[in-house]
Chain A
Amino acid sequence: MGYMTDQNQSSDAAATLERRPDGTVVVQLRGNWKQPANLPAVDTLLGRLDEGGAPIRVELDGKELSGWDSGMMALVMGVFDACAQRKVPVDTAGLPEGAQRLVRLARAVPPRATDHAGSARRSFLAAFGAQTIEFVQSTGAVLTFLGDCVQATVDLFRGKTMFRRVDLFLFAQAAGAEAFPIVSLISVLIGMILAFVGAYQLKQFGAEIYIAAGVAIGVVREMAPMMTGIIMAGRTGAAFAAQIGTMQVNEEVDALSTAGFSPIGFLVLPRLLALAVMMPMLCLYAMLMGIGGGALVSVTMFGIPLSTYIDQTRSVVSLSDFSMGVGKGLVFGIVVAAVGCLRGVQCGRSASAVGEAATSAVVSGIVAIILLDSLAAVICTVLHI
């Protein structure tokens, strides 16, 4: 290691114990302790403190030290702790002046017993119980938040909530218009993938003509709303959580409350409405792009005429399929925005808390979307929609 050769000194740090007849134990520290490696172990040295009877006093001798740093100080403090347990006085007069001063400084304030929650180790059952209670409480917090959102929306329509229309447009632009490229790309690719997957199966029966039906139903009912929702969770939900979380850190949310603005009305509502308006539109757009992607594959690679493809699609997709897809989009949009804002509002007051809020907004958003989508699939099957 370059660091060690630079020092041009061998690692000759050593610590020995010497017992005098009067019961004094002298801890002798010798050589250069300014080395990062090969420091004598504290534990073995202290383990030998009681050899041949308990010491009456302990002396630290550093007259033959050629260099020292915090590594040696840690050993010295270890000696102090061990002697405090045995109620044995320690004499530091033999240490270098600087080291003596550091010892005095470190021992000036006795360690305080703190009731820091994180330091206590809990048993498995206690931790499990605490987690359960926390979960129940957090469910309560979510319901309170949703209630507040509904209340704020009602207030908005009664003209009672402070609401900045500029914000709504800004968020609609950021969440909607600026998401166009990525939604286009993903939707076209999804449509193409569905077409390929369907084509290889249908080819066995010479029924490639039905690719259009498979793509249309798959994209319109399932893939377009779900993929748009997931894109929104990653793009916009995370942004919402980080924005509001940073405002928590800067005390901006507190400032809103004291000024008499409801943080829900001022921060959450514009975001919620922006996504509720933009998501159905994005969803509709994703459906068209997906069908387009399917058509591209079918026409260029499987030789299906475009007009046939369009006819097939039109005969298969009904208005109820479309409204199903758009409805899902609306619900997913509201869920993504609400989860993002909730995580932001719950955010702690540190940089890492903002990161956690953003991560958790994305994860909870995606989980919620998939769960709701599965639920919708089951209900639709049972009700034959």
Chain B
Amino acid sequence: MAEPTKETPAHIEVKDMTVAYGDRVIQHDLAFSVKRGQVFLIMGGSGCGKSTVMRALFGLTRPARGQVLHGGVDFWAAGAEERERMMRRCGVLYQSGALWSSLTLAENISVLLETFTDLRPRQVKEIVSFKLALVGLAGFEEFYPSEISGGMRKRAGLARAMALDPEILFFDEPSAGLDPVSSRRLDELILELRDSLGATVVIVTHELASVFAIGDDSIFLDAVTKTLIAHGNPKELLAHSTVPEVRAFLTRGAEAGNAGITSAAP
């Protein structure tokens, strides 16, 4: 194991983790660490278990083997209350937004603040409006999730993920189903939030435009060998990686990224 450096200690550390559904192994023997304040990407082809690995990082799926450490504390060895506290320090944006459909957008956020803080109702209301304004949804407080578009739902989900000012933000394919402009805007928003909140960000993605724009560090999961096949900064991986799957994934994206712009013109 690499020696932890003093200035950027590992925020999340994964040791020999195996995730499985019953007897079916999804990914095995994963070991990596995410430094504080990084944008960390989990990449890989469709169906290789990226989301499942991420769910194990914030405690939704219990790994079949191995450890997940948050700030040096073993997540699954901790007591139930400690684990709940650790989970509350994580904000999660699900693929579909996963807003609670029986609550308005404002209630989706305020229910967290009301339950887990001692803020006064007035303050809660102000914070809710502020969070919605951050994601460009000011004025949508009283809307129900079914009344807004998919992209808006995703942004509202982001506002909810940030409700308790989490230390770690998890994103499950944030740009899936968004048009290129919205997706780029979401990337900028993620970076801005990281810088202003000082949060660590973990993203499951295969959107290559985002990969190079925002990724500080990344791992690459493989569906055939069912384990990690590359680890490093995406740009460096593109420049130096010798793993054919990684090269194909990243160069294809670089080409497509350029080609997409030129070939759009008739």
Please, how many angstroms separate the alpha-carbon atoms of A259 and B92 in the complex?
Answer: 8
Q: By the criterion CB–CB under 8 Å, are B88 and A259 in contact? A: yes
| Contact between chains at B101 and A258 (CB < 8 Å) | no
B116/A252 in contact, CB under 8 A? no
- Report whether A162 and B96 are in contact in the complex, using a CB–CB cutoff of 8 Å: no
Bound Cα distance from A246 to B94, whole angstroms: 15
Instruction: Judge whether B98 and A254 touch: CB under 8 Å.
Output: yes
B98 engages A250 (CB within 8 Å) = yes
A251 and B88 form a contact (CB under 8 A): no
Cβ contact within 8 Å between B88 and A260: yes
Given the interface contacts A258-B59, A260-B84, does A251 sit within 8 Å of B115 by beta carbon?
Answer: no
Contact B94 A256 (CB under 8 A): no
Complex Cα distance A255/B94, Å? 8
B102's closest neighbor in chain A, by CB? A167
A261: contacting residue among B60, B90, B115, CB under 8 A: B115
Docked-complex contact A247 and B24, CB < 8 angstroms: no
Q: A258-B87, A260-B87, A260-B88 are in contact. Are A251 and B96 (CB under 8 A)?
A: yes
User: B24 to chain A: which residues have CB within 8 Å?
Assistant: 115, 117
Q: CA–CA, A254 to B58, complex, Å?
A: 11
**CB atoms of B101 and A250 under 8 A apart:** yes
Contact across chains for A251 and B101 when beta carbons are under 8 A apart: no
Residue contacts A-B, CB under 8 angstroms, 28 given: A115-B24, A117-B24, A164-B111, A167-B102, A246-B101, A247-B101, A250-B96, A250-B98, A250-B101, A251-B94, A251-B95, A251-B96, A252-B98, A252-B100, A252-B101, A254-B55, A254-B94, A254-B98, A255-B94, A255-B100, A258-B58, A258-B87, A258-B90, A258-B92, A259-B88, A259-B112, A260-B87, A261-B115
- Contact partner, B116, options A115, A254, A260, Cβ 8 Å: A260
Q: With an 8 A cutoff between CB atoms, is A144 at the interface?
A: no
The closest CB in chain B to the CB of A254 belongs to B60
Whether, in the assembled complex, B128 has its beta carbon less than 8 Å from a beta carbon of chain A, the answer is no
Residues on B with beta carbons closer than 8 Å to the beta carbon of A117: 24
A257 within 8 A of B: yes
Contact of B99 with A by CB under 8 A: yes
CB pair B88–A256 under 8 Å, yes or no, is no
State the B residues within 8 Å of A (CB): 24, 55, 58-60, 84, 87-88, 90, 92, 94-96, 98-102, 111-112, 115-116, 160
Q: CA A234 – CA B213 in complex, angstroms? A: 53
Q: Nearest chain A CB to B178's CB is how many angstroms away? A: 17
Residues of chain B within 8 A (CB-CB) of A256 are: 100
A255 contacts which chain B residues (CB < 8 A)?
92, 94, 98-100, 160
List B contacts of A259 (CB < 8 A): 87-88, 112
**Quick check: B112 and A251 within 8 Å, CB to CB?**
no
Chain A residues within 8 Å of B58, by CB? 258
Shortest CB-to-CB span from B70 to chain A, Å, is: 13
Which A residues lie within 8 Å of B111 (CB)? 164
Bound complex: CA of A258 vs CA of B157, how far in Å?
Answer: 13
**Interface bits A240-280 vs B (CB < 8 Å: 1, else 0):** 00000011001110111111110000000000000000000
**Using Cβ atoms and an 8 Å threshold, which residues of chain B touch A164?**
111
Q: How far is the CA of A260 from the CA of B60 in the complex (A)?
A: 11
The smallest C-beta distance from B244 to any residue of chain A, in angstroms, reads 16
Cα A254 to Cα B96 with chains together (Å): 12
Assuming the contacts A257-B60, A258-B58, asked whether A252 and B90 have C-beta atoms less than 8 A apart, the reply is no
Chain B residues, Cβ within 8 Å of A261: 115
> How near does chain B come to A204, taking the closest CB pair, in angstroms?
58
Contacts of A260 in B (CB 8 A): 84, 87-88, 115-116
Given the known inter-chain contacts A115-B24, A258-B90, A258-B92, please indicate yes or no for A252 contacting B99, CB distance below 8 A.
yes
For the complex, give the distance between the alpha carbons of A250 and B103 in Å: 14
Look across to chain B and name the residue whose beta carbon is closest to the beta carbon of A262.
Answer: B84
Nearest chain A CB to B174 CB, angstrom units: 14
Nearest A residue to B58, CB-CB: A258
Q: A254-B60, A254-B94 are in contact. List 15 more A-B contacts (CB 8 A).
A: A162-B115, A164-B111, A247-B100, A251-B95, A251-B96, A252-B99, A254-B55, A254-B92, A255-B99, A256-B100, A257-B87, A258-B58, A258-B92, A260-B84, A260-B88
Which residue of chain B lies nearest to A112 when distances are taken between CB atoms in the complex?
B224
Contacts of A250 on B, CB cut-off 8 Å? 96, 98, 101
Point out the residues of chain A lying under 8 angstroms from B100, CB to CB. Answer: 247, 252, 255-256
Separation of A258 and B88 alpha carbons in the complex (Å): 7
Residues of A within 8 A of B102 (CB): 167
**Contact partners of B94 in chain A: CB under 8 A:** 251, 254-255
Q: Which of A115, A162, A252 has the most CB of B within 10 A?
A: A252
